[in-house]
Structure 1
Amino acid sequence: MKNNMFERFFDMGKIKVMQIMPEFGLAGAEIMVENLSVALAKDGFEICIVSLYDYHSAITERLEKQNIPIIYLGKKKGIDISIFYKLYKILRKEKPDVIHTHLYILPYVIPVALLAKVKVKVHTIHNVAKNEVGKWQRKINRFFYKYCRVIPVSISPLVKKSVIEEYGFEENQVPMIFNGIDLNKYIQKNDYTNKGIINILHIGRFSEQKNHAGLLESFKIVHENVPNTKLRLIGLGNLEKVIKNKVKDLNLDGCVEFLGLKADVYPYLNEADIFILPSLWEGMPITLIEAMATGLPIVATAVGGVPDMIKDNKTGLLVDTNNAQIAEALQKLIKDTNLRKEIGNAAKSTSEQFSVEKMEEQYAKLYKGFI
């Protein structure tokens, strides 16, 4: 009887979900929101997206082509009090059943969501808890979780553990849902033989977290031992100029290529021979799933949720954040084409657990359960 009543309730009309983001740069959390929103819309949910800033990107273009509306609030840098009023007006007008927030915007959203009487408030934590936001915002977030019924969703077992420890939750209070991608979009890698230059690919913004400086130090060791190697970097960021200067200082000008931001990374993944993720900390990097889905052999630092995704010497090589270790792992893959093929194929098979369909199904169940 309860199940029939539950089904009849949802047959009465679409569930309206509002995804709220700071902006839509080409990064992991933003790609996750895009993938989830498109999948939810296909599953019959009514989707609306709010972006605090006016920034447009390939992601916003793709979403709008899918007829998913995006409302831009024109936020100014720093604290912008006007955002509270703008958000309140939107929530009163749109009347979402669920708001789903990401990254650092809980202090803007939750006060007005309470005033607008939004019943279900979900927040995905995209990084280990202590690295998601600063110390003072974590105190504010703790209040929202405890007293305002905000549901914290972690993206990996290790992130979940960090959220429990940071905010004092019980195990069953923190849902865990892996990020997901559309596995059908990726160009599968089939050729693992050495043909001239060995291309090593990194995708990520130029920031301290992504550890480009350490990557260059590692690559210098590799390139001195294996001259027919090239490092290709996709991304932008505030440390890009610093990293370009470091390339010159290390005399790597001819073998490090800055590709900028790419709306479509699939061809570059397919062209690469090895994928490298040398981050100092991570949650559950979308780029890692993309490399796995392509079938690339991977070298990654064992930080954050990465060991939940990669099994050492099976679906990738895990290393410490140590330049010499990173270089050694890269050279191991460069020299052994059979190992590259074996690890790449295993990574491809493992990537199936990170499908957008599985992610959407779990979030849909979560929304309905709390409604």
Structure 2
Amino acid sequence: MKRKVLHVIPSLATGGASCLVTDLLCALDAACFTIGLCSLYEEPNNNLSKRLRDANIELFFLNKKRGLDVPILYRLWKVIKTYRPDILHVHQRAILYTLLPAVLGKVPRRLETIHSMAEWEGGRDTRFIRRFAYQYFGFVPVAVAKNVAASIKRVYKIKEVPVIQNGIATGKYRAVKAAVPIDKPVSLIHVARFSPEKNHALFVKALQKVVEARPGRIKALLVGAGPQLPSVRRMVQTCRLEKVVEFLGERQDIAELLGYSDGLVLTSNIEGLPLVVLEAMAAGKPVIATTVGGIPEVIDNGKTGVLIPPSDTDKLTDAIIDLIDHREYFTAMGLKGTAVVRERFDLSRVAEEYKNLYNIDGAQPVF
């Protein structure tokens, strides 16, 4: 008999967590599970919901208001009561609104994927609710990286935390060894939401130094949207980098953009296990990234990418200049990364591990 699984996520707006959830639900074994997804907010204008419907995933959009929205508790409880899931799988801040409906709906098995370091996954209110959910109401946290699992144990005093590292559909990425003319500027791409923890300012500061050291040898593509976008634009203008930096906005064609680039830079102060790092490696592109979250679990420094300390402008500058000066070496590094991602971080492995987790008949209490 097929088990019914209901995922609850705040929003299907484009982002790492929503893309991962969409990929996972489309990859799960339909012979074993009937799958639904409930989004607290309205349906966004992107291709994620279309992909889910094409995969026969039942969708619920609750049209939550901004800020505290108490009536959403009732609407979510009605979804749970009607859908009657065997397994409830929660993501991000949705735990705030899901705990009470899950308890009242007597869902037998309750999971929550933690997508970033536990100290930073939600605010104090979210962490307060999580503590109760884990200790008293049978919710099991699942970490997307080993470092994330360690942070969950540290914050919530839990002894055992399952780890299912993120993965991607590696087959849609094509690793190509590009013959880059030495006089052609290196094109680096940065894909992230424009929010403080992504630290775009670090990239801009490093670019300013790189342009001084290697004029005419660097181009940067910034992909994403978010509240920090205006301030980053102003910083680019202040640093006189308008001819170096191009803002591409929010995009759905990340695989194609990676194919056009010569490498990925990620300057985050906080991460879980970012999909864009896996995507760049699958596309055969060298990655320069900060040593945060699960990134060091993917990148072998100096072999499959370059790791730098968070907020270290000089180290980032040096890494970019090295890429400019030693393109063949970095190209080989990118191709080595492809082999790692295909072997260890393919989406099929993620789906199989969640399938196994869903099929565990845990002794969780039903309150």
TM-score (norm. length: structure 2): 0.95
Q: Counterpart of 2:325?
A: 335
Contact between 1:273 and 1:296, CA under 8 Å: does it hold in 2?
Answer: yes
- Output the CA distance in 2 between the equivalents of 1:225 and 1:58: 42
Contact between 1:192 and 1:341, CA under 8 Å: does it hold in 2?
Answer: no
Change (3 A) 1:43 1:319: farther
Q: Counterpart of 1:295?
A: 284
How far residue 66 of structure 1 moved from its aligned partner, in angstroms, is 2.4
Asked if 1:91 corresponds to 2:80, the answer is: yes
How far residue 80 of structure 1 moved from its aligned partner, in angstroms, is 0.5
Asked if 1:113 corresponds to 2:102, the answer is: yes
Change (3 A) 1:119 1:192: farther
- Output the CA distance in 2 between the equivalents of 1:42 and 1:257: 42
Asked if 1:23 corresponds to 2:11, the answer is: yes
Find the partner of 2:202 among 209, 214, 217: 214
Contact between 2:187 and 2:262, CA under 8 Å: does it hold in 1?
Answer: yes
Contact between 1:192 and 1:273, CA under 8 Å: does it hold in 2?
Answer: no
* Unpaired segments ≥5 residues, structure 1: 1-12
- Output the CA distance in 1 between the equivalents of 2:162 and 2:179: 38
Find the partner of 1:281 among 270, 287, 297: 270
Q: Counterpart of 1:104?
A: 93
What letter is aligned with 1:54?
Answer: E
Find the partner of 1:150 among 139, 164, 186: 139
Find the partner of 2:237 among 222, 242, 248: 248
* Unpaired segments ≥5 residues, structure 2: 363-367
Contact between 1:19 and 1:49, CA under 8 Å: does it hold in 2?
Answer: yes
- Output the CA distance in 1 between the equivalents of 2:107 and 2:287: 43
How far residue 15 of structure 1 moved from its aligned partner, in angstroms, is 1.1
How far residue 41 of structure 1 moved from its aligned partner, in angstroms, is 4.6
What letter is aligned with 2:148?
Answer: V
Contact between 1:21 and 1:101, CA under 8 Å: does it hold in 2?
Answer: yes
How far residue 135 of structure 1 moved from its aligned partner, in angstroms, is 2.4
Partner deviation per Cα, 1:306-348 (whole Å, 9 max, x = no partner): 1111111011000112111101011111111221122101110
Q: Counterpart of 2:39?
A: 51
- Output the CA distance in 1 between the equivalents of 2:220 and 2:211: 9
Q: Counterpart of 2:365?
A: none
Asked if 1:184 corresponds to 2:190, the answer is: no
How far residue 175 of structure 1 moved from its aligned partner, in angstroms, is 0.2
Q: 1:125-204 alignment to 2 at 5 Å?
A: 125-170=114-159, 173-194=160-181, 196-204=184-192
What letter is aligned with 1:128?
Answer: M
- Output the CA distance in 1 between the equivalents of 2:274 and 2:65: 28
Contact between 2:217 and 2:324, CA under 8 Å: does it hold in 1?
Answer: no
- Output the CA distance in 1 between the equivalents of 2:281 and 2:91: 24
Partner deviation per Cα, 1:79-110 (whole Å, 9 max, x = no partner): 11111110111111111111110001112111
Q: Counterpart of 1:34?
A: 22
How far residue 30 of structure 1 moved from its aligned partner, in angstroms, is 0.8
For 2:317, what is the secondary structure of its paired residue?
helix
Asked if 1:364 corresponds to 2:352, the answer is: no
How far residue 370 of structure 1 moved from its aligned partner, in angstroms, is 3.1
- Output the CA distance in 2 between the equivalents of 1:324 and 1:272: 23
Partner deviation per Cα, 1:182-239 (whole Å, 9 max, x = no partner): 1111132221533612100010110111111111001111122222211001110011
What letter is aligned with 1:274?
Answer: G
How far residue 140 of structure 1 moved from its aligned partner, in angstroms, is 1.9
For 1:122, what is the secondary structure of its paired residue?
strand
Find the partner of 1:349 among 339, 345, 355: 339
For 1:130, what is the secondary structure of its paired residue?
coil
TM-score (norm. length: structure 1): 0.94
